[in-house]
Amino acid sequence: MAGMSDLFDAHPYQDRYPVQRGLPEQGRPKAEILAELREMAALENQAWETGQCSGTMYCGDLDHYAFLTEAFGLFAHQNALQRDMCPSATRFEGEIIAMALDLMHANAIEGTEPAGLVTSGGTGSILQAMLSYRDHARATRGITMPNIVKPETAHPAFVKAAHLFGLELRVVPVDPATTLVDPAAMAARIDENTIAIIGSAGNYPYGTIDPIADLSDLALARGVGLHVDGCLGGFILPFGEELGYAVPPFDFRLPGVTSISADTHKYGYGLKGTSSLLFRDKALRNAAYFYVLDWSGGKYFSPGMEGSRSDGLLASAWASLVATGRAGYRAHAQEIFATCAAMVDVVREHPQLRLVGSPTFVFAFTSDDFDIYHVADRMKTRGWRFNGLQYPDGLHLAVTRPQTRDGVVDRFRTDLADAVAYAQEQTGSAESTAIYGGIPGGLTADVSTFIESVMEQIMDAHQSVPAPR
């Protein structure tokens, strides 16, 4: 594990700026601080402005970011928990939820009243959804030993939810060719204590969309909830459908879908820190309530897990949705889907590479001829940043607006051809393996210990200051 502290070049600024090892006695001039921050931001923007970074910067428009920053700044100091002083939070949150519900065809719902929450991100939405299912099932079905059933490809946040909330987690493998879950296999894992099943639209590894219509039928037949994780695809797939792409229904048009998560901070092009969690029936949302009635500080209550929140995040998410509009989202989706198709064609130019699943706005590939992480190693030297996959080892690229810029697909063609040639020549282990999940096959019982050691050293690096010289 030697050198792990330098894995992410944790202290690249130590020779450029002063290092704070404690709270300074005298504050620095604000203009000086802002100049320093502008320099850092400009340097770090170079990592994604080329369009060679998977996901991460979904918008990539500095003018849009400046607009969101101004919207955020106007309300950043306000607390969304205190609506008597900050009624703007009610406008922003209510309209964000209304727009998201409209996008997910909540107008098709009959017999219940749809509702939602704005959370801190995709993990926050998933955690809150699972907590709501747990408490609602306890109150309405008397379930005290709840379980949830998820495809292997569904996000690790569901594993985190099970860990935090005492849920039994049942994981169903996916078809290795299609990367989709088999509804029959899901059905076999449901019992009288199942509170919810999960499907992805699309999943993180491959961007593929589980058979949500079949899962909807299954949820109705077995009387369980169905959460659709649209954190990644929720704000792009609907516009792909409007454009005529083969996007199957995954939203509230399917009667068995009881909740949906969709991140405004991904393809909604908002700032990091907001996501929408939508419910078919507000009775399920109401299960998210938390309150303490006998505290000396007064009766405390919050609508979900979070307490104080910056109204600025609500303002910026609202501003992004309103400024972009359906036409804007459609236009961006058209460019992203077309760019993804063009990059997929580049991958197909190489018989040594094999696509995994059916690409959407995300494409994933592996190789049966060589260690695919050698491709990542080589592409990294050309400024590309892929996400690593495992089981099988692979790479994916979530196409975002920066990839739609002129010249990016051509660079991808040139650099990938070079990387494939490089990978064919390699006989040793790839450098990227340890980072991208490539745990050696012989590690079994010690994997947890290994990962904990890696995490500890990464956290120590991320939360440290450089050693004095």
- Which domain covers residue 214, as residue numbers? 75-320
> Which residues contact residue 333 at a Cβ distance below 8 angstroms, ignoring those fewer than 6 apart?
236, 239, 240, 243, 267, 361
Q: CA of 115: how far to CAs of 110, 235, 286, in Å?
A: 13, 18, 9
Burial class of residue 61 (count of CB atoms within 10 Å of its CB; 0-12, 13-18, 19+)? middle
For residues 429-452, one letter each, b for 16 or more C-beta atoms within 10 angstroms of the residue's C-beta and e for the rest, the string is: ebebbbebbbeeeeeeeeeeeeee
Helix%, strand%, coil% for the chain, nearest 5: 40, 15, 45
Q: Is residue 271 part of a domain?
A: yes
Q: So what's the pLDDT on residue 448?
A: 67
CATH code (residue 174): 3.40.640.10
For the chain of 469 residues, list the mean pLDDT of each consecutive stretch of 10.
Answer: 49 88 94 95 91 93 97 95 90 96 95 94 97 97 98 97 98 97 98 98 96 98 98 98 96 98 98 96 92 91 86 97 98 98 98 96 97 95 93 95 97 98 93 46 53 66 69
- Does 191 reside within a domain? yes
Q: Residue 267's closest CA among 278, 276, 258?
A: 276
* Domain annotation covers residue 38: no
Confidence at residue 290, expressed as pLDDT on a 0 to 100 scale: 87
153 domain residue, yes or no = yes
Query: Tell me, what's the pLDDT at 11?
Result: 80
Q: Confirm whether 61 is domain-assigned.
A: no
pTM: 0.92
H-helix or E-strand spanning residue 349? none
Residue 361 and residue 332: Cα distance in Å, rounded? 11
Contact 250, 102 (CB under 8 A): no
C-alpha distances out from residue 386 to 118, 290, 396, 420, Å: 29, 40, 6, 15
Is the Cβ–Cβ distance between 56 and 48 less than 8 Å? Answer: yes
In a domain, 338, yes or no: no
Q: Is 260 exposed, middle or buried (0-12, 13-18, 19+ CB in 10 A)?
A: buried
- pLDDT for res 457: 67
Taken in order 286, 287, 288, 291, the sign of the CA dihedral is: positive
Residue 13 gets which letter from DSSP?
Answer: T
Contact (Cβ atoms closer than 8 angstroms) between residue 218 and residue 188: no
DSSP states of 263-302: -TTTTT---TT-EEEEESSHHHHHTT-EEESS-TT--EEE
List the end-to-end C-alpha distance of the chain, in Å, as a whole number.
23
* 435 domain residue, yes or no: no
pLDDT confidence of residue 421:
98
Total domains, the chain? 1
Measured distance CA(30)–CA(20) in Å, rounded = 16
pLDDT at 301: 85
- How far apart CA 456 and CA 220 sit, in angstroms, is 44
Dihedral, CA of residue 384, residue 389, residue 394 and residue 397, to nearest 10: -40
Residue type at position 25: E
Whether 373 maps to a domain, the answer reads: no
Structure tokens at 305: 């897990």
